[in-house]
Structure 1
Amino acid sequence: MLGQSDVALHEVYDLAMFDLDGVVYVSGKAIDGVPERLDRLVAAGVHIAFVTNNASRTAAKVADNLVKLGVHASAADIVTSAQAAARVLQERFGEGARILLLGGAGLVGALGDLGLVPVRDLEAPGLSAIVSGYGPDVMWKDVMRAAVLIRDGLPWVASNTDMTIPTAYGLAPGHGVLVKTLADFSGVWPTVAGKPERPLLDETIRRVGGERPLMVGDRLDTDIEGAHNAGIDSLLVMTGVTGLAELVSATPEVRPTYISPTTEGIFEPHPVVTTVGSGAELGGWVARATDARLEVEGDGSPNDWWRVVAVAAWQHLDASGTPADTSALTVPGA
């Protein structure tokens, strides 16, 4: 149900790919301890990459923001869904292909870096494809024209399908809302470059290097499912959007290899959870679902608490088809 490692994960994996929001920072502030842990990883010889579905900003701008938060990062450490989308287009249509752009500066730079020609004129001749990504200044008249071109057969690559995007005023509609609008009108679903599809993680490995990659994320439906799709292991941290309710409801395709309350889990072994009947045991904790109600007894580390809860809950979900009731649980340290 969960992966096992007798040694710390940073001794097993030589590339750590970090999601940003919810893993490195929250609400524009670095999560406690993360910059120092990243430095420790680099000192240990682990390749570091920061992976983002946001296609609106260039890698250099993302790196600048991380530096302001105390994270040692450069543009070479950043891989965006815009870069992954550009790679998909280059491999399909070749350098010099004219690509209609429906998005922001991140896509412009990514296309140019791979020898593609970004075009904003929707009436321009000789277009090979259209690429879309989040762009706050995209005009509705351009969306309408793009929808018609897609319906009429112009190949379409989307940077991501994220339905929400964090802003200073809360969660707002993300690029996925536009993708759904275009797809509903045209009857065409795009080739998607960002998580949970695999092009973004493939591009990260290509750019940053490493033979044994680990995806570190906080979202089951992008980070963890993306790792599954790319055939790599994953570490779920509980510092972002995934909480107890989401974890116990996770179906096999979005279950992580490892779980840790924080990114400190990359420096720790991950012992095996023992299953006994309908229960799970580890480190002094025993979790079991009784009459669909998940209960935990014992004492131990918060890390092991999350692990036994996950395994017991998933056993119940797989057997019954419904998530366990967690109303009786109190998360350690919460």
Structure 2
Amino acid sequence: MLLSTDAPLAEEYDLALVDLDGVAYRGKDPIEHAAEGLAGARTAGMDVVFVTNNASREPESVSAQLCGLDIPSEPGDVMTAAQAAAAVLAGRLEPGSKVLVVGGAGLVTAVKAVGLVVVASADDDPAAVVQGFAPDIGWRQLAEASYAVQRGAWFVASNLDLTLPNEHGFAPGNGALVGVVRAATGVEPVSAGKPEPTLYHLAVERRGAARPLVVGDRLDTDLGGARAADYPGLHVLTGVSDARDAVLAPPEHRPSYLGADLRSLLVAHRAPEPVDGWWRCGRARARVSAGVLELDGPAGSLDLVRAACSAAWEAADRGQPVDPGTVPTLHVDEG
């Protein structure tokens, strides 16, 4: 169920593990209130590490973009899926092993940094293939990866995100491109990125944090990763998964907190409570009756979404899930 706090999240937790695409920015464009929310969290004493499934870019490039969006950061504030994939490779391969890299500069740099040798052809007899997103990946690279995997190379993916949000909409993500190699070989890759907990654990170890909080927009990756890592998660409604998705989320994807945007780090959060057969949160309440979600309260409020989540999750957990057809699109107007 959702959690409650007496103090703002930025005071309750010492480290925010913040996703990028859909949370801090969308493509090249800033997300409204992201800079404001992160600045306030830092002022309150909260540390921030940006944790992204994007493996194509160097941390230096990511931090430069953030600085350009009025979000001060250093390369050490960025943890990428490329770094997580390299850590997975290094955990199994001997130093100096050959790895066929299909991806961008960030993945190449990360693999080299852990003492592995980057190659570009299956004829180089690589011990592993690692694949991460890059916008210029083409047929030849995917073919070389397929040949190597067919010959027995270990197949590792930086992440399996099917889509990548940008300023135009949702583009094919690394998971879609990995699907090409999977289809050609029949081999399922090991994934290093979210929802696997590796990225989060590496970031927490880097900072020495005691009370980390995951912040993301995707229930299946960001919040699923939070559950896998056993960290509380804040779902912000600025990216892929909307409020209705949260209501219908399975247990392994459910957040601990809900917020409209990153300003939700600066406020206390209240959790719904059961009252007379309803789940009540502030002036909003919700219940599930005979599979139908019933809502009562101010439209556009986070409290109504919170109440709806609690009602739907409790019903699903006792074997009487809500009919998805009765769950409306829920718009949130407040911060």
Q: TM-score normalized by structure 2?
A: 0.91
Aligned partner of 1:180 in structure 2 is: 179
8 Å contact kept, 1:100–1:118? yes
Aligned partner of 1:15 in structure 2 is: 15
CA distance in 2, matches of 1:302, 1:69: 28
Q: What pairs with 1:101-250 in structure 2 (closer than 5 Å)?
A: 101-125=101-125, 127-250=126-249
Task: Give 1:17 deviation, angstroms.
Answer: 0.6
CA distance in 1, matches of 2:2, 2:168: 37
- Summarize the Cα distance change of 1:40–1:95 in structure 2 as closer, same or farther, 3 Å threshold: farther
Task: Give 1:4 deviation, angstroms.
Answer: 2.3
Unmatched 5+ residue regions in structure 1? none
- Summarize the Cα distance change of 1:277–1:116 in structure 2 as closer, same or farther, 3 Å threshold: farther
- Summarize the Cα distance change of 1:142–1:301 in structure 2 as closer, same or farther, 3 Å threshold: closer
Q: Does 1:304 align with 2:317?
A: no
Aligned residues: 332
8 Å contact kept, 1:219–1:240? yes
Q: Percent identity?
A: 39
Residue type matched to 2:268 in 1?
P
8 Å contact kept, 1:218–1:239? yes
CA distance in 1, matches of 2:251, 2:330: 25
Task: Give 1:28 deviation, angstroms.
Answer: 2.8
- Provide the alpha-carbon RMSD of the alignment: 2.2
Unmatched 5+ residue regions in structure 2? none
Aligned partner of 2:68 in structure 1 is: 68
Q: Does 1:326 align with 2:327?
A: yes
CA distance in 1, matches of 2:243, 2:44: 32
> What per-residue deviation string (whole Å, max 9, x for no partner) do you get for residues 114-150 of structure 1?
222221233114x321111112333313322321321
> What per-residue deviation string (whole Å, max 9, x for no partner) do you get for residues 223-281 of structure 1?
00011111111011112222233122111110001112222222222223112365201
CA distance in 2, matches of 1:78, 1:264: 20
> What per-residue deviation string (whole Å, max 9, x for no partner) do you get for residues 170-216 of structure 1?
32221112222222332221110111111111222223331211100
Residue type matched to 1:38 in 2?
L
> What per-residue deviation string (whole Å, max 9, x for no partner) do you get for residues 45-77 of structure 1?
222011111111111111111111111011111
8 Å contact kept, 2:23–2:236? yes
CA distance in 2, matches of 1:102, 1:273: 46
CA distance in 2, matches of 1:81, 1:246: 25
SS at match of 2:331: coil
Q: TM-score normalized by structure 1?
A: 0.91
CA distance in 1, matches of 2:299, 2:268: 15
SS at match of 1:42: helix
SS at match of 1:92: coil
CA distance in 1, matches of 2:288, 2:219: 22
Task: Give 1:167 deviation, angstroms.
Answer: 4.1
